[in-house]
Amino acid sequence: MLFTELPMLERFTAAAEAGFQGAEILFPYDIAAPELYRAALAAGLEIVLINAPPPNWAGGPRGFAAEPGLEERFRRDFERSLRVAQALRARYIHVMAGRAEGPAALETYIANLAWACERAPHASLTIEPLNPADMPGYFLQDYDLAVEVIRRIGTPNLGLQFDTYHAQALTGDMLACWRKVAPLVRHVQVGGHPGRHEPDSGTQDHITFFRELDDIGYPGWVSAEYTPLRQTARGLQWLHEAQGRLPH
């Protein structure tokens, strides 16, 4: 989502020069994984996270984990995502739920996630509530439900992915939501709300949020997941401000 003014393989160097230490690639399925890995390695960046499954992003489904009857499709696509994550040395795999609703969808979701956790005990899997305005019909639109799912599965390799943009859209109070779910959070993403642009363009207090991450010793990554208002590097004042005001 960032540095899209550049060809994909040139974005790693641009990100490193801008001060980033890692890179998310939401859907790294159109370029050979070894090419992506070499480009990241040359720039000195770790590849942090990818999404599963590989989608048809131009209007296709956003996952199948909660869709009854598509268990085989879920497993097949998860296996491909797992191979790509291993080739990229990616730390996290975000497992997308897809469009579904109702009790059968919940049980399908839990069964599929439990299978994935058992299939890949070495991997760190995440789930993320998404707001219905951006993702109509998406099964996981509630943080309480995400907490229930993680606790029911109860494996150490499944955690919560917390996106400040979606949290604000879903709850109206991103900071309160964070304080409620923080113990289960494995990975953090930031973006301004409304608009999903730079964090300093929205209504949330990201500086306070970053300070709280430091105060609790959050050990994970913080990823910039937003659509820049202009060329990416010109909109990174929020990052420079955070680096100047926080202890590290």
Active site residues: 128, 225
Omega prior to 194 cis, within 30 of 0: yes
CB atoms within 10 A of CB 82: 20
CB 125 within 8 A of CB 81: no
Q: Give the per-residue SS3 of 79-132.
A: HHHHHHHHHHCCCEEEECECECCCHHHHHHHHHHHHHHHHHCCCCEEEECCCCC
What secondary structure letter does DSSP report for 184?
G
Round to whole Å and give the CA distance between 151 and 68: 21
Residue 140 is which amino acid? L
